[in-house]
Amino acid sequence: MVFLNLPVADVAASRAFYTELGFSVDEQFSDETSASVVVSDAIHLQLATREKLAGFVPEGTRIADPRQATAALYALSCESREEVDQLVEKAMGAGGGTWMPAQDHGFLYGASFTDPDGHVWEVMWMDPAPAQ
């Protein structure tokens, strides 16, 4: 399993954004300072205030602001090109931002968006046939 701990400015707004994308929230691990978003059985996001996240890192460590610098790109695979476009469309409708234009390489198609805090999400589909 992969657990991504992401700093957010507004837990309620981030929670709303990710549920608009179709992800669920595990209430057992959520409160007013964090939301545990279930992307899949293998991927969970822990969206936490900067103050809460600071409690999990060494004292004096700065919590990065993804709007100021890109530290990571998070990539999700989709079942089809249409699913890529649908997820990006949902993100835009839920308050996400643009990142890079869609890229079509024939066997590989991808697009991207940012969440309300500036975290970059790339979504892609790859045709398995060429790899076989």
CB atoms under 10 Å from CB of 53, counted, come to 20
* One-letter identity of residue 30: S
pTM, 2 dp: 0.92
The residue ranges of every structural domain in the chain are 2-54, 73-131
What does the pLDDT read at residue 132?
A: 62
Say how far residue 52 (Cα) sits from the centre of its chain.
Answer: 19
Please determine whether the domains at 2-54 and 73-131 fall in the same fold group of CATH. Answer: yes
pLDDT for the residue 130: 74
Looking at domain 2-54, does it have CATH number 3.30.1950.10? no
Q: Which CATH class, in words, describes the domain spanning 73-131?
A: alpha beta
Cα–Cα distance measured from residue 35 to residue 14, given in angstroms and rounded to the nearest whole number: 8
Which residue type is seen at 19? T
Strand order of the β-sheet with 2-8 is 2-8, 43-49, 34-38, 24-25
Tell me what percent of the chain is helix, strand and coil, each rounded to the nearest 5: 25, 35, 40
Question: How far is CA 29 from its chain centroid?
Answer: 18
**pLDDT value of position 80:** 96
Walking along the chain (132 residues) 10 residues at a time, the average pLDDT comes out as 96 98 97 97 97 94 92 95 97 97 95 97 90 62
Can you give the pLDDT at residue 100?
Answer: 94
- What the block records as the tokens of 72 is 């990571």
